[in-house]
Amino acid sequence: MTTITNREIHLAQAPTGMPEPAHFSMVETQITPPADQILVKNLYMSVDPAMRPALSNGQTKVGAVMQGGAIGRVEQSANPDFPEGSYVIHRCGFREFHVTDGRDLRLVKTEGESLTTHLHVLGGTGLTAYGGLLVTGELKDNENVFVSAAAGAVGSVVCQIAKIKGCRVAASCGSDEKVAYLQDQLGVDYAFNYKTQSISKSLRAGLPEGIDVYFENVGGAHLDAACGQMRPLGRIPVCGMISAYNNKGARSEGVTTLSNMIYNRVTMKGFVVYEFDHLREQFLSDMRSWIADGRMQYSETIMDGIEQAPAALIGLLQGQNTGKMLVKLADDA
């Protein structure tokens, strides 16, 4: 049995407000994987907004290694379900190696696409967008759709599915470069920078007939503006509320426009991606065909090395990513 040096990221101190590098520590461990276990070398890890509330609500313990989605290659295995050289997805990112009995692994079968796509457009964030928009949001062809955090991993997929369904799409994001990306590359009809433009005025300009579906990623002022402009029988699938995640208890800013839910019989419904596991085969088939015919584009922002994982999480919360935020942990060699 060989001993391996592994580096992993621990939570050093629970943050209040925006996390800082000092809230994290990098710890070196020695691993000697038992012969009956599977050794996975992590290649890429996913960086997700939900990691932030987990730092303050006790989900991630101070002094413990952090958790998160990762894709890796099986280096050692006596389990025929996960042969050496196969690729697997699991929830033990933030470390270079993962030792497991295999129960937490999902085999990844690529069809020529890059491995990293299975951590976003063909993975969890893609399925979040697909299920959240089509199932929870009950999207119909040619509706008026508003998407917040639209240049991010989930939002960018939502915008494009809505365009594929013939919808008019308005989208908000936090920089002029992202506005250009959404309009010029993803075909969004009307994008705006919420940091420099009024959200309400922008929505009236972009969707003058009102909103049928607001795909909610942000909360607070975005929800306040969108809720007031929902059309009769509109739907608000609530995917996330990133504007609240640095607040104690992830409490969002107040919303003053909820009475429009009565007047226009609007439905607001939260969801989690696990609800859509049964759609995975259909999702993969649709998504692969949309990527192949050029109607589904994706971007990645990749930081290099496990030591960059805290910076990647902080950067995600500050909007440094376009498309999916990832950390590369090792070469596939």
- Interface ranges with ligand NAP (CB under 6 A): 48-50, 125, 128, 149, 151-155, 173-175, 178, 217-218, 239-243, 271-273, 316-317, 319, 321, 325
Taking the complex as a whole, the smallest distance from the CB of residue 19 to ligand NAP amounts, in Å, to 13
Q: Which CB, 72 or 240, lies closer to ligand NAP? A: 240
Q: Which CB, 71 or 151, lies closer to ligand NAP? A: 151
* Separation between Cα atoms, residue 163 and residue 273, nearest integer Å: 21
Give the start-end residues of each E strand in the chain.
Answer: 4-11, 24-31, 38-46, 70-76, 87-90, 97-100, 106-107, 144-147, 168-173, 190-193, 211-215, 230-238, 267-270, 300-304, 324-328
- Cα–Cα–Cα angle for 123, 245, 287, rounded to 5 degrees: 15
Q: Quickly list DSSP for 142-162.
A: T-EEEESSTTBHHHHHHHHHH
Q: Which CB, 39 or 221, lies closer to ligand NAP? A: 221
Taking the complex as a whole, the smallest distance from the CB of residue 149 to ligand NAP amounts, in Å, to 4
Q: Which CB, 6 or 321, lies closer to ligand NAP? A: 321
Taking the complex as a whole, the smallest distance from the CB of residue 226 to ligand NAP amounts, in Å, to 12
Q: Is 135 exposed, middle or buried (0-12, 13-18, 19+ CB in 10 A)?
A: middle
* Separation between Cα atoms, residue 41 and residue 13, nearest integer Å: 27
3-state SS, residue 83: coil
Q: Which CB, 66 or 239, lies closer to ligand NAP? A: 239
Angle between helices 280-292 and 124-131 (to 10 degrees): 100
Spatial CA neighbour of 100 closest among 131, 117, 76: 76
Spatial CA neighbour of 120 closest among 177, 70, 50, 63: 70
Spatial CA neighbour of 313 closest among 67, 78, 64: 67
Taking the complex as a whole, the smallest distance from the CB of residue 267 to ligand NAP amounts, in Å, to 16
Taking the complex as a whole, the smallest distance from the CB of residue 303 to ligand NAP amounts, in Å, to 14
Q: Which CB, 39 or 47, lies closer to ligand NAP? A: 47
Q: Which CB, 38 or 284, lies closer to ligand NAP? A: 284
Q: Residue 10: phi, psi to the nearest 5?
A: -110, 155
Taking the complex as a whole, the smallest distance from the CB of residue 11 to ligand NAP amounts, in Å, to 19
Tokens of 165: 């369904």
Taking the complex as a whole, the smallest distance from the CB of residue 294 to ligand NAP amounts, in Å, to 22
